[in-house]
Amino acid sequence: MPLALCCMSHSPLLDITTQSDELEASVRGALGTARDFAATVDPDVVVVFVPDHFNGFFYRTLPPFCLGVAASAIGDYNSLAGDLAVPTALARELAAAVLDAGVDLAVSHRMQVDHGTAQPLRELFGTLDARPVIPIFLNAAAPPLGPLSRSRALGAAIGQFFAGRDERVLFLGSGGLSHDPPVPQLDTAPPPVAERLVSGRPLTAEEAERKHVGAIAEGKALAAGTSARLPLAPDWDEHVLDLLGAGKLSELDGWTNDEIGAHGGGAHEIRTWLAAHAALAAAGRYEVAYRYYRPVPEYIAGFAVTTALPAA
């Protein structure tokens, strides 16, 4: 059961904007360290804990958690599109084990994932299908949201399953930390947008272009201090990283969704980090091997990259 963890923020603006050489070198350097770590771990399977941004999951049926036994990336924001190499038999076994452990999760035989999944896979492995990957969706964008304790339980059940097996597994968490990206919300979106959040119809080319332009403008405004959206919260981000790194996972159980959302709608993505750490913790104590953090308003992200291994 050689287990390992890597967690990283994602941002479409990493791909569709050009920033200063200094900023790009800093973020790319951190992602490069994670890539080297993943190469050393050389996983037989990657379990990727991911959010979605109304690209694969919609209000017509919105589970808190879903495991993909087959999945493809839609290629939003010019991210990689195509099939993930999901080991279907293993994924089905994992789903059964998680349910058996008392954590309700949906399964999808045709899961659609977005940049939140495609970006970390590309950063670590170059392509979507370089490694067998089991995607685990955690709803972080579409209220009502469940409590963090359930994300922890989900991760723990997944970790327990792999702790009793021989595969080398990399738990990969994608998202977070503080950030308030321009993702629409059902209660405030104009009627045609709200209708799409329910129906899930694909974006038109014009709508996709508007989204790109809007996100780029929002990144610029946040960096310039003129955005009406919530600011990044470096102190909170460092606190989250401290707790996760120290294995104090249950300390997050009491955090309310209102408290988390005060650091931006995207801050709910810390669920993916929590689940990945809970999965690693199933093998016992762990140690952080690498920690990078930088508030990057240009990317609308409290941007972090960490790796961890079971304690020696």
Ligand X SMILES: O=C(O)/C=C/c1cccc(O)c1O
How many angstroms separate the CA atoms of 100 and 156, rounded?
Answer: 13
Which one-letter amino acid corresponds to residue 250?
S
How many angstroms separate the CA atoms of 295 and 124, rounded?
Answer: 21
Stretch that binds Fe ion, among 33-41, 114-122, 276-284, 295-303 (CB under 5 A): 114-122
Q: Which of 10, 179, 263, 277 is catalytic?
A: 179
* Residues 236 to 295 in contact with ligand X, rule: CB under 6 A: 266
How many angstroms separate the CA atoms of 285 and 265, rounded?
Answer: 31
Q: Binding of ligand X at residue 111 (CB under 6 A)?
A: no
Q: Give the tokens for residue 281.
A: 């913790």
Q: In the beta sheet, which residues pair with residue 174?
A: 8
Q: Which does 154 bind (CB under 5 to 8 A by kind): Fe ion, ligand X, none?
A: none
Stretch that binds Fe ion, among 62-70, 74-82, 86-94, 113-121 (CB under 5 A): 113-121
Stretch that binds ligand X, among 7-15, 30-38, 64-72, 104-112 (CB under 6 A): 7-15
Of 10, 150, 196, 294, which lies in the binding site for ligand X, with binding defined by CB under 6 A?
10
How many angstroms separate the CA atoms of 288 and 4, rounded?
Answer: 10
Q: Binding of ligand X at residue 181 (CB under 6 A)?
A: yes
Q: Which is nearer to ligand X, 43 or 175 (CB)?
A: 175
Q: Which residues of 85-108 are buried (b: 16+ CB within 10 A; e: fewer)?
A: bbbeebbbebbebbeeeebebbbb
Task: Name the residue with the smallest CB distance to ligand X.
Answer: 53
What crossing angle do the helices spanning 148-163 and 88-100 adopt, rounded to 10°? 120
Q: In the beta sheet, which residues pair with residue 81?
A: 74
Q: Binding of ligand X at residue 197 (CB under 6 A)?
A: no
Q: Is 239 a catalytic residue?
A: no
- Strand 65-68 relative to strand 133-138, pairing: antiparallel
Q: Is 10 a catalytic residue?
A: no
Of 4, 48, 53, 308, which lies in the binding site for ligand X, with binding defined by CB under 6 A?
53
- Measured on CA atoms in the order 101, 106, 109, 112, is the torsion positive or negative? negative
Shortest separation between residue 87's beta carbon and ligand X, angstroms: 27
Q: Binding of ligand X at residue 12 (CB under 6 A)?
A: yes
* Residues 157 to 176 in contact with ligand X, rule: CB under 6 A: 175
Q: Which is nearer to ligand X, 28 or 165 (CB)?
A: 28
Q: Which is nearer to ligand X, 213 or 311 (CB)?
A: 213
Nearest to 303 by CA among 176, 116, 181: 176
Of 122, 131, 179, 196, which lies in the binding site for ligand X, with binding defined by CB under 6 A?
179
Catalytic residue numbers read 115, 179
